[in-house]
Amino acid sequence: MDQFSEFRPKRGSKRRRLIPQRDSIQVGWKELEGRFVRYIEHECGLSENTRDAYCRDVARFFDWLDGRFLADLTLTDFLGYLDTLRSAGLSPATCARHLVSLRSFYRWLQLEGIVKKNLTALLESPKLWQRIPSVLTVKQVDRLLSAPNPDDDRNWIRDRAILEMFYATGCRASEIASLTIGDYRPREGFCRCVGKGDKERMVPLGRGAIDACSAWLTERAEILKRTHLPPGKGESDADLPLFVTRTGRPLRREALWELVKKYTRRVGASEKISPHSLRHSFATHLLSGGADIRVVQELLGHASIQTTQRYTHVDFERMRSIHDKFHPRS
């Protein structure tokens, strides 16, 4: 029996809020981490990456807490913690995420009866400026997609397929990393993507992406034959990762970032370009070509149309041409 068993509801009973006892609250993060992770995974349905971010944020909070009682903190204390984050040079967006992590953590503490009040619910998120996404021009994308070559790159076939898939699908780096053989459906001309909250969407594939992936699958088969890595227990070939390393292991999300950075530097693109910039470019080029914004919303997997609307403000060339054409003093 652990020290929080008196606060935990019995199996089958409804969860109830209890008044915490002071001597049961001074605990470390490691004593609570496992149960909090189960809460945000099973009850909140958060993705693995989001769970990891929340845990890092709460661990940092405990370092700042330095042994103080969780229930003794005041609103002024929480404001002071946010000021500490800002003083450390964190961006407003990162501070806002830290606050969301703390809210979830204190909501769970309150539900478990470990604290009586959730003062984090009274805190306002930092005001966030709507930043204009970094996008590549169509010519820059063409240069980027052809950057991997057999003379300079050992994995050029795979790298070109990855870049083609980024631009063809508008997927996030984590979504590309989690693609399986079963997700890739060239006969139908579609790719199944699993996004935030395990939401599925089907995205059309262009000829360039299909051709690049077909070449890669031939190379991939040779890699797996050489490394002798069979499917895991209960897995089929369809469950295996689409993109792998030279040793047949799944590619990490971080490796995809490094890959994109490598080729953007080669073509002389901005240092700000990242895998997400290809997602931004995907959406911007569709809208500038006349695609319906609702269709782009579905392709990106956005829950809100407001998230997609920011891409309507970044096509400067189109705005300039319209201004030149219709303004009487252009």
Q: What is the pLDDT of residues 281-327, one digit of tens each?
A: 999 899 888 888 899 899 998 888 877 877 776 555 556 666 677 76
Instruction: Give the residue from 286, 281, 285, 279 showing the smallest Cα distance to 301.
Output: 279
Q: In the prediction, which pLDDT does 233 show?
A: 55
Residues serving a catalytic function are 172, 196, 276, 279, 302, 311
pLDDT at 187 over 70: yes
Pairing state of beta strands 200-204 and 184-185? unpaired
Q: Look over the chain and give the mean of its residue pLDDT values, rounded to a whole number.
A: 83
Every domain of the chain with CATH number 1.10.443.10 lies at: 138-320
Q: Which of the residue ranges 39-48, 184-193, 300-309 has the most confident prediction, judged by mean pLDDT?
A: 184-193
Share of the chain above pLDDT 90, in %: 40
Every domain of the chain with CATH number 1.10.150.130 lies at: 22-122
Predicted confidence band at 16 (pLDDT cuts at 50, 70, 90)?
Answer: very low
Q: In the prediction, which pLDDT does 4 show?
A: 39
CATH superfamily for 22-122 is Tyrosine recombinase, N-terminal domain (1.10.150.130)
Which residues in 134-170 are b (16+ Cβ under 10 Å) and which e?
bbbeeebbebbbebbeeeebebbbbbbbbbbbbbbbb
pLDDT at 14 over 70: no
As beta bridge partners, residue 180 has: 241
**Mean pLDDT computed over 110-121:** 87
Q: In the prediction, which pLDDT does 44 show?
A: 84
pTM (predicted TM-score) = 0.67
- pLDDT per residue as tens digits for the range 195-248: 877 789 999 999 999 999 999 999 999 998 888 666 655 556 788 999 999 998
CATH 1.10.443.10 fits 138-320, yes or no: yes
